[in-house]
């Protein structure tokens, strides 16, 4: 049974230089038709797999940029979602947003439609770095948007921050962290830049024109991030996420728990009934499939037992709590240590994993090389 629904809104008024998600420029796109298709795709899945929607805890609007839609379009999108999914008892109903697009009218539309969590793509408080990223907002717009969100009754607010950016200095990163913390938000996410194929940054990198920080500087930035979040009573519950109290991202935790979720929209990914799938990316082809009464599947893969074990480890180890012996045994029917002792013990001996009676988790040192550790669990390599 799925725990969450991810809904992809692929429209943007500005394409960021680092983004590799499925997205298109907003202008001249069939936005209204796409919104209607979202409801039709949900209905198509419900017809064939009604049990999948029985225990939905979260709905998450991602992109692209959900707030590229007008207030009226947001009203209609949320009306469709509320009419097709049982949203009254959701733990979390979240939306991504850009600070320079989130008008008061749009905030009212989000609030009236049930949204109770916002995630703002801030990335940096340095004007030069924002321009390099292809972001169009100002710091003043960030402050104003947060104030307006609180005024309409949305208090569960996250901002995304990025480090390891081209030309970024330690001083710039320290300034961004301090400005972010001054907002006294309940949640912060912070990610190092990954140069993905099919992005502007990738083209620049291939030409040798992307001046990235050294690994040592990037590690120093991550260390500063963890120290400052802890100093401000923000608990690091996942490698890149920090929360006050219980203000965690419930939707994202579904991914890290390796639980199932429904993916809706062009290019969306989902995981239901033991199968991971991706939807058709091109919007016209997506719409044509929906119009013909067919689910817009691009690919579908039944997750093997070995893959389930691997995913349980490398996703679960992202969490501060790590992976417990009990959860692994209950979900997969085998002992974690019998399956992965030959991987776990060397990592423990090298101080990268912590092992106790409950399970395994990353050490502080392990957090700096998380991706290298996760790789060890893929096919026992």
Of the chain, the end-to-end C-alpha distance in Å amounts to: 31
The per-residue pLDDT for 101 is 94
| Residues in the chain where the model's pLDDT stays below 50 | 381
Domains, the chain, in order of start with CATH, read 4-256 (3.80.30.20), 306-380 (1.10.10.920)
The per-residue pLDDT for 1 is 86
The per-residue pLDDT for 25 is 77
The per-residue pLDDT for 34 is 98
The per-residue pLDDT for 329 is 97
From CA 295, how far away is CA 40, in angstroms rounded? Answer: 9
The per-residue pLDDT for 379 is 57
Residue 346 φ then ψ, to 5°: -60, -35
Rounded to 10 degrees, what is the CA torsion of 333, 337, 338, 341? 150
The per-residue pLDDT for 381 is 47
What CA–CA distances, in Å, run from 345 to 306, 336, 342? 20, 12, 6
β partners of residue 302 = 275
From CA 216, how far away is CA 369, in angstroms rounded? Answer: 12
The tokens describing 236, both together, are 């690091």
The per-residue pLDDT for 21 is 74
The per-residue pLDDT for 358 is 98
The per-residue pLDDT for 226 is 98
């Amino acid at each position: 049974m799925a725990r969450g629904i991810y809904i992809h809104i692929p429209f943007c008024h500005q394409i960021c230089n680092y983004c590799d998600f499925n997205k298109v420029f907003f202008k001249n796109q069939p936005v209204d038709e796409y919104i209607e298709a979202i409801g039709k795709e949900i209905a198509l899945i419900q017809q064939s797999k009604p049990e999948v929607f029985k225990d939905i805890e979260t709905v998450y609007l991602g992109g692209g940029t959900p707030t590229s839609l007008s207030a009226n379009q947001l009203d209609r999108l949320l009306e469709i979602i509320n009419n097709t999914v049982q949203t009254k008892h959701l733990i979390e109903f979240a939306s991504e947003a850009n600070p320079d697009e989130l008008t008061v009218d749009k905030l009212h539309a989000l609030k009236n439609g049930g949204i109770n969590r916002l995630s703002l793509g801030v990335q940096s408080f340095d004007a030069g770095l924002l321009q390099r990223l292809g972001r169009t907002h100002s710091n003043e717009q960030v402050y104003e948007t947060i104030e307006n969100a609180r005024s309409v009754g949305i208090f569960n607010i996250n901002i995304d921050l990025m480090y390891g950016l081209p030309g970024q200095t330690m001083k710039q990163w320290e300034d961004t962290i301090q400005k972010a913390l001054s907002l006294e938000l309940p949640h912060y996410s912070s990610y190092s830049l990954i140069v993905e194929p099919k992005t502007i940054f990738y083209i620049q990198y291939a030409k040798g024109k992307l001046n990235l920080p050294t690994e040592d500087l990037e590690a120093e930035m991550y260390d500063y991030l963890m120290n400052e979040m802890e100093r401000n009573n923000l608990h690091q519950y996942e490698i890149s996420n920090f929360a006050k109290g219980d203000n965690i991202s419930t939707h994202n935790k579904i991914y890290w728990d390796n639980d199932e979720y429904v993916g809706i929209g062009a290019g969306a990914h989902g995981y239901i009934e033991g199968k991971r799938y991706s939807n058709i990316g091109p919007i016209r082809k997506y719409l044509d499939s929906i119009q013909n009464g067919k689910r817009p599947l691009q690919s579908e893969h039944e997750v093997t037992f070995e893959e389930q074990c691997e995913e349980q480890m490398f996703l679960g180890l992202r969490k501060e709590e790590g992976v417990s012996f009990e959860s692994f045994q209950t979900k997969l029917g085998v002992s974690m240590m019998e399956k992965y002792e030959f991987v776990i013990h060397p990592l423990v001996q090298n101080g990268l994993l912590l092992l106790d009676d409950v399970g395994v988790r990353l050490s502080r040192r392990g957090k700096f090389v998380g991706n290298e550790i996760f790789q060890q669990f893929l096919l026992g390599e």
